[in-house]
Structure 1
Amino acid sequence: MDPRGSACFVVFAAAAAASPGAGDGSPAPRRRPLPEEGTADDHPAQQRRPPSHQLSRKFQDIIEELQHCADELRARRSIKKDDMYGQGRMLALTLLKRAKDAIGLASTIMTGAQLRAQTPSEISLNTIDQTVRMYVSTFVKTAEDTYHRKVDKATVLSFLCALQGLAAVSRILFEDALASVRSIQPDYSPKRDVEAINRNYQQEIQCLINKFGEASTTEALEILHCTVNDLAQKVSSYVTIMTTLRTSTLAHVPGRTIASCDAAPPDDRQN
């Protein structure tokens, strides 16, 4: 293994170890702060930043490392067709790209979570942080296994289930916001049929998961590429809808706050 390639996963290991139940209990290597980031001691203002801001920065670091690894895989001549489920370099690049996209999606959720209703029953940022970290650790493991050519069917299923987990977090955040608004405006209703959106999403996702999970090894090989891409795209679309709906819903809460800038919420009326 190229030493440079192994170094790509120093940040991955640190992120996975930060998640509940991740790793084998050994201390993870500490990432050197980026020059503009510094440490909390160097910048006291950093200590006052919410966990969502700090986690978003860490996600960005991981995304950049994933890109480096993808670039290296593209340059490799040693990946043969019998590697990575018989699909070779293209499948490896697809899994790396989707892992990178998933971590970016997690970052989007955490950024949106900074908008707070400030109601007593609201889900805490710490709870969101811990939950999202758990799923990110799976995305990191997928990328690591991909790079080291250790992907199997279980790896892919874990990745797909973690993607579903992100979608569930975005839905819970929206429903939490909706409950906050209805506590002061009982008749409030989103301008979209959320139940229909949820129902269609669940049916499409469950169909993909079941088809892949029940497939034989040979069949799984044939549908692997399209399964990963289709499910990732559907989850991304769903998370975008839920995040947009949550933002526009919280616009109806007079005391809402945001950890950074309180940008004008987008209109939730979409075609």
Structure 2
Amino acid sequence: MSFREEIETICGYWKKITYWNTSIFDMESTALSLHLCMVATKAVKLTSRVMDNATLRHDKQAETYLHTTKQTLTMYVSIFVKLAEDTYHRKFDDDSVFSLLGAFRGVAAIAHILVKDAIESVDSVEYGSWNYNSLVEDTDNSWPEFEQNIKNLEDQFRAVLKNNSKMYKLLRPTMEKAMALTVLFVSQMLTRREKVLGYIPGSKGRRAARASSEEESDGSKT
């Protein structure tokens, strides 16, 4: 797993928060802080999945973008770690929310780019023209929908910035919704990419994909 050290750092902040001397009147605030650390941990683990998926391709083209991908994802991971740090030091604010939403969007964008890059390297005839065209269309359409959903969350949160009570009430649902949207989108992209990589020489999973295809072909003959 990538970014193990960063995950451990966030867990360290989580443990420190559990040791806070919290009065009964501050329990809700402490619970929210722990929740934010949990969101940060899940976000880094999700980013790790994207990074690990990026390494599945081993041709020369992959070498040119793998370093850039890691640099970009590391930048987003640093935002998630900063979220946990600010939460522990009680510096979490509305800017932190928008930074987090932006980082979610960034991680999802990398996953989307990885899929598109893989698709462009596949022979549409070998993959199956109809399936290939459907895959391209679904991949192209999925990103604007995800981006709009994140933008809606940003707009909803921005609309209550001058009302601390409403902002506090909307904070957790915003984080949970953003996390759910990003996990779903990224999971779909990574699953799609793994399937596509089966048709690209030099990629992990190619042999398994071919074996599966041959088994299906043999089965159809019996």
TM-score category (smaller protein): 0.7 to 0.9
**Could you tell which deviates more after superposition, 203-212 or 136-145?**
203-212
Which of 173, 181, 196 is the aligned partner of 1:226? 173
Letter in 2 for 1:257: S
**How many angstroms apart in 2 are the aligned matches of 1:134 and 1:235?**
17
Displacement of 1:191: 9.0
Residues 76-100 of structure 1 deviation map (CA, whole Å, 9 limit, x = unaligned): 22377579xxx51111011101111
2:91 aligned partner, one-letter code:
K
**Structure-2 separation of matches of 1:80 and 1:263:** 59
Partner of 1:202 in structure 2? 147
Pick the aligned partner of 1:177 from 113, 118, 124: 118
Aligned match of 1:162: 103
Equivalents in 1 of 2:23, 2:37: separation in Å? 15
Distance 1:146 1:121, change over 3 A: closer
Contact kept in structure 2, 1:106 and 1:132, CA below 8 Å: yes
CA, structure 1 residues 125+195, in 2 after alignment: closer, same or farther (shift >3 Å)? closer
Sort the Cα spacing of 1:80 and 1:61 in 2 relative to 1 into closer, same or farther, 3 A. farther
- Shift of residue 201, structure 1, vs aligned partner: 2.0
Question: In the aligned structure 2, how far is the partner of 1:174 from the partner of 1:117?
Answer: 15
Q: Matches of 1:99 and 1:227 in 2, distance apart?
A: 14
For residues 127-169 of structure 1, the C-alpha deviation after alignment (integer angstroms, 9 at most, x for no partner) is 1011101111111111110111111100111011111100000
**Structure with the bigger percentage of helix:** 2
Following superposition, the deviation at residue 66 of structure 1 comes to 2.1
Residues 1:72 and 2:16 aligned together: yes
Structure 2 counterparts to residues 84-103 of structure 1, below 5 A: 87-103=28-44
| Contact 2:47/2:73 (<8 A) preserved | yes
What letter is aligned with 1:245? Answer: R
What is the alpha-carbon root mean square deviation over aligned residues? 2.9
Counterpart of 2:202 (choices 239, 256, 259) is 256
Offset at 1:121? Answer: 7.7
Say whether 1:134 aligns with 2:75. Answer: yes
1:9 is aligned to: none
In structure 2, do the counterparts of structure 1 residues 112 and 60 end up closer, same or farther at CA, with 3 Å as the change threshold?
Answer: same
Displacement of 1:71 after TM fit?
A: 2.8
Aligned residues: 204
Shift of 1:65: 3.2
Unaligned runs of 5+ in 2: 213-222
- Is 1:236–2:180 an aligned residue pair? no
CA 119–220 in structure 1, closer or farther in 2 if over 3 Å, else same = same
Q: Separation in 2 of the partners of 1:134 and 1:81?
A: 36
| Aligned residues of 1:123 and 1:176 also touching (Cα < 8 A) | no
State which of 96, 121, 143 in structure 1 corresponds to 2:84.
Answer: 143
Q: Is the 8 A contact 1:138 1:159 kept in 2?
A: yes
Question: Within 2, Cα distance between the matches of 1:263 and 1:107?
Answer: 24
Secondary structure in 1 aligned to 2:9?
A: helix
* Identity percentage of aligned residues: 32
Check conservation: 2:10, 2:85, Cα contact below 8 A: no
Residue 211 (structure 1) aligned to one of 139, 150, 156: 156
Matched, 1:60 2:4: yes
Hey, what's the Cα distance between the residues in 1 that align with 2:68 and 2:151?
26
Structure 1: segments with no counterpart, 5+ residues: 1-52
Residues 13-38 of structure 1 show CA distances to partners (whole Å, capped at 9, x for unaligned) of xxxxxxxxxxxxxxxxxxxxxxxxxx
Q: Retained in 2: the 8 A contact 1:117–1:250?
A: no
